[in-house]
Chains A and B, each alone.
Chain A
């Protein structure tokens, strides 16, 4: 199908974008990469009165990397983040998760910030924002503000951001010392939305014992959540840690839904399997980091 008629503006500055969003009112929507919004329009699941295309707004396409973390501008495409080596060094989950976001042609247009603003529970980057304890910066006519991930996701496809606003960047804190990460997912076809995905961070102490284990899942639950799995393996020497037990613990903590792609039970099973697998991988990386110290 075709999108219902709408009005279109492509402002040349952030201030103009906010001015048009204010003037057009509740029926206006930001258009970024369009890789989620245009399908919704063509399927007539959404019919905004006005699209405010931010692709011409300068200054939103940078990835800034510091020792504290990675700031991803609103117009950074998935493919640009995927191939940003400096960002991957500071927070390896970014490239690892982005490699699972859609197909290359979609990654050429779709933005990382757009997928967070879209708040799809089957998106990878919402989970990564949660797992890294990240936040977004939101520009509004009354000035910018920072929203922590915990305050951002309200429900499927729903964030706490309302009124005229443009998310200008997302911030992903750096990987802590003595830590390793891994990300894996099961999808019907490479690049499709995950039936279930898992991202994990393992942190060790100076003696190569497990100090902290955190996990976040994709296509599990209505909003991204971070699960602390430390209790299953705390204090265990990294080479002896029972990652399967951590996977078992994860299964009891999640609350997946069933749909045409997978039953809730199958998703719960995958949570256990993917958790065990990714934790072993992340632990090996963390152990190597401790050895290097």
Chain B
């Protein structure tokens, strides 16, 4: 018989590290990441799927972490903004091309929306053929689901193009 629970202990691989947490079943993934696992890089804005600030990757695909329960990621892999930079194997980190491009293009002001944009755009760029011409429609699809109250989007779109160019050259 299927068990019906109010609390569960889950293991989940977050940014490459297996983590365990005991959570009430109503705990949103966004809150589990921030409060149970201490990863406060994932931001929480609207909590109903509209703003995109909480976007993380689950098994490589961008999803709203406020629209998943923590218990639903048991046994899966989650990548948050803390896991976007790579280890340089010399004690430091190499930023993801999208992070570099955001810095270069001034694509953030207050930074509240930034983690969600970074995760969505990084996944979007990594899934496409880097050699193919990046269309405005693709860019709109990558930024259209996230709200930014500061930048006016122009620099964010510029950053998408810049990151795509870097990823094309690095191929």
Contact = CB atoms under 8 A, between A and B. Distances in A.
Interface of A: 1-12, 16-17, 19-20, 24, 34-35, 38-39, 41-43, 50-51, 53, 55, 102-106, 108-109, 189-191
B68 interface: yes
Contact of A191 (B24, B48, B63, B145): B145
A2 B28 contact: yes
Contacts of A3: 26, 28
A11 B142 CA distance: 34
A10 B3 CA distance: 8
A104 to B, nearest CB: 6
B25 interface: yes
Contacts of A35: 49, 64, 67
Given A104-B145, A106-B67, 17 more contacts: A1-B47, A2-B28, A2-B31, A3-B26, A7-B6, A8-B6, A8-B25, A10-B71, A12-B2, A17-B2, A35-B67, A38-B28, A39-B67, A51-B69, A106-B64, A190-B141, A190-B144
B25 A7 contact: yes
Best-surrounded residue of B61, B66, B140, B142 (most CB of chain A within 10 A): B61
A16 B2 contact: yes
Contact of A106 (B25, B26, B145): B145
A103 B2 CA distance: 34
A105 B31 CA distance: 18
Instruction: Give me the 9 closest cross-chain CB pairs, A-B, nearest first.
Output: A103-B145, A8-B25, A39-B48, A11-B2, A105-B62, A9-B4, A190-B144, A38-B67, A108-B61
Given A1-B47, A2-B26, A42 B144 contact: no
Interface string B18-61: 00000011101001000000000000000111001001000001
A8 B3 CA distance: 8
B145 A8 contact: no
Contact of B2 (A2, A10, A42, A105): A10
Best-surrounded residue of B62, B68, B69, B124 (most CB of chain A within 10 A): B69
Contact of A8 (B5, B64, B120): B5
B69 to A, nearest CB: 7
A71 B62 CA distance: 26
B4 to A, nearest CB: 4
23 contacts: A2-B47, A7-B6, A8-B26, A9-B2, A9-B3, A9-B4, A9-B5, A19-B2, A20-B2, A24-B4, A34-B68, A35-B64, A38-B28, A38-B48, A38-B66, A38-B68, A51-B25, A104-B124, A105-B62, A105-B63, A108-B61, A189-B144, A191-B144
A35 B66 CA distance: 10
A42 B72 contact: no
Given A7-B6, A9-B5, A103-B145, A109 B68 contact: yes
Nearest to B6: A7
